[in-house]
Structure 1
Amino acid sequence: MLTSINTSQSIGEIVAVLPKASEIFRKYNIDFCCGGNRPLAAAIQEQQLDEAEVLQKLEEASFETRELTKRVNFREMKSDELIGYIVATHHAYLQKALPETGELTAKILRAHGSNHRELFRVHKLFNGLRTELEQHLIKEEELLFPLINKYEAGPSDKLAGEINRVMKETEGEHEGAGDILKELRKITADYSVPEDGCRTFEKAYSMLQELEGDLFQHIHLENNILFKRYEL
């Protein structure tokens, strides 16, 4: 039972305590990564959701929490372990998925763009996102994460200040990526494949949805767990 979770808590805090909540929030289009600092009550009110229904879904998800936390508890990971997980899981995924998804969006634009003009926007948005993310991964791996590991080995005010400067840049990039993903979902009508869509069309939209889910979890782990440890 969710005896410790209520709508006054921040969305990000809820997901940190209850990882399964991320799936529920995606279902209701509640932003748990870039908008993770907002109280759940604010999101429910803004989107005119049924508060009792949302809390019931969270309560149902709580039954799976024990097994999930046995498998991996991100909040209890040391920073270097969490960084290692993010790089090996989410960075590795993006390095593979970005070029594959880019190829698919180009194919469906060429094949279906004349009948589905929104694909021009999908192609442009995705490629902008891809460029931003490729640079973002390099910044994290070559600058931010080494700074955090250096701080853990020998804390100093200077390092803490530098970490916070880069973290703010990174969080801004997270917000930008989240905005693009929201626009992609909107212009594709929640990735609804049209009746004349081919298998490549279905695959492209499926990969975009998969990328969205992975990226939201990636951003959540950083914004709501890792970065919280170093905020001044």
Structure 2
Amino acid sequence: MNMTLTENTLVKDIVNELPKSSDVFKRNRIDFCCGGNIPLTEAAALADISLESLINELNEVVEKSDSGEIDWKFWMEKDSEAIIDHVISQYHNPLREELANLSPYVTKVSRVHGGHRPELLKVYELFYEFKKEMLDHAEKEEAIVFPLIKMLDANTVENREEALNAIKELEKEHDHAGSLLKELRIITSDFIPPAEACGTYRLVYKRLEMLEGETFNHVHLENNILFPRFN
């Protein structure tokens, strides 16, 4: 992410370029939606916070943002334990954080606009189903299946067939998550909001699309690189 923040950078431009920055603004009680057409220096003053600390918080988000294409060949050459550690730190933990942060936005947009935009009620339903499924999925991977995979890798597993069946169950769960994301993409017209959509409405669509991309990368790493080692 090549974005240099200055005191004159507009709040709305930051959120448009870096959707997860909305969490920083929300935490600091800065209106990034209707009141986003102001520079950071004014936003910090209105919120009675330090401009320097606000920019530092935002730069942390910039540093964590996507830095380019993933080198899948690199992960093909890594051992299974390294891949598992990567999945937990780079996919599971950020997923938990993003689902928690995104939930109130999805709820708000559904509540405020769902009366005349019924597709948002379906977005709400699909998102919360996806959230429950993926949180349960991540917990099961970490508590049960990843330890089994490590034992498979070390040839110390007691029941190989049971362990392989557990992996197959994960693949089925991946399929279901993919079907929910497909429905979300259809119902949101490829995550394109209507012309009159407010800032929060647009933010939800952007972050749902980012969530889709991260989930696809997560699933690809497991389905196509980690799991085939034990077929």
- TM-score range for the pair, normalised by the shorter chain length: 0.5 to 0.7
Matched residue, 2:215: 215
Residue 151 of structure 1, CA deviation? 2.5
CA distance in structure 1 between the aligned counterparts of 2:145 and 2:138, rounded to whole angstroms: 10
Query: Runs in 1 of length 4+ with deviation above 6 angstroms?
Result: 67-72
RCO higher in 1 or 2 (8 Å CA, sep ≥ 6)?
1
Cα offset, 1:155, TM superposition: 3.7
| Rounded Cα–Cα distance in structure 1 between residues aligned with 2:141 and 2:159 | 15
Determine if contact 1:193/1:201 at 8 Å carries over to the other structure: yes
Instruction: Name the SS of the counterpart of 1:73 in structure 2.
Output: helix
Deviations 1:95-138 (A, max 9, x none): 11111222111010111111211000000011001011110001
1:55-103: CA deviation from partner (whole Å, max 9, x where unpaired): xxxxxxxxxxxx9687970100100001111111000111111112221
Percent of aligned positions with the same letter in both sequences?
Answer: 37
Partners of 2:72 and 2:214 lie apart in 1 by 18
Unmatched 5+ stretches in structure 1: 1-66
Q: C-alpha distance in 1, partners of 2:222/2:160?
A: 16
Partner of 1:185: 185
Rounded to whole Å, the distance in 2 between the matches of 1:70 and 1:98 is: 26
| Distance in 2, Cα, partners of 1:189 & 1:71 | 30
Shift of 1:165: 0.9
Amino acid in the other structure paired with 2:190: D
The 5-angstrom pairing of residues 39-118 of structure 1 reads 73-118=74-119
Distance 1:222 1:113 in 2: 36
Q: For structure 2, list consecutive stretches of 5 or more residues without a partner in the other structure.
A: 1-67
Letter in 2 for 1:228: P
2:134 matched to which residue of 1?
133
Deviations 1:10-66 (A, max 9, x none): xxxxxxxxxxxxxxxxxxxxxxxxxxxxxxxxxxxxxxxxxxxxxxxxxxxxxxxxx
Distance in 2, matches of 1:173 and 1:179, equals 10
State the 1:147 CA deviation.
0.8
Aligned length: 164
Change (3 A) 1:95 1:166: same
Q: Distance in 2 between matches of 1:151 and 1:170?
A: 16
Kindly tell me: are residues 68 and 115 of structure 1, through their superposed partners in 2, closer, same or farther at Cα, counting changes over 3 Å?
closer
* RMSD of Structure 2 on Structure 1 (CA): 1.9
Q: What amino acid sits opposite 1:177 in the alignment?
A: A
Q: Distance in 2 between matches of 1:115 and 1:185?
A: 19
- For the residues of structure 2 that align with 1:187 and 1:216, how far apart are their CA atoms? 19
Paired with 1:215 and 1:69, the residues of 2 have a C-alpha distance of: 14
**AA paired with 1:135?**
D
Residue 142 of structure 1 is matched in structure 2 by 143
Structure 1 residues 93 and 195 mapped into 2: Cα distance closer, same or farther (>3 Å)?
Answer: same
Q: Which has more radius of gyration?
A: 2
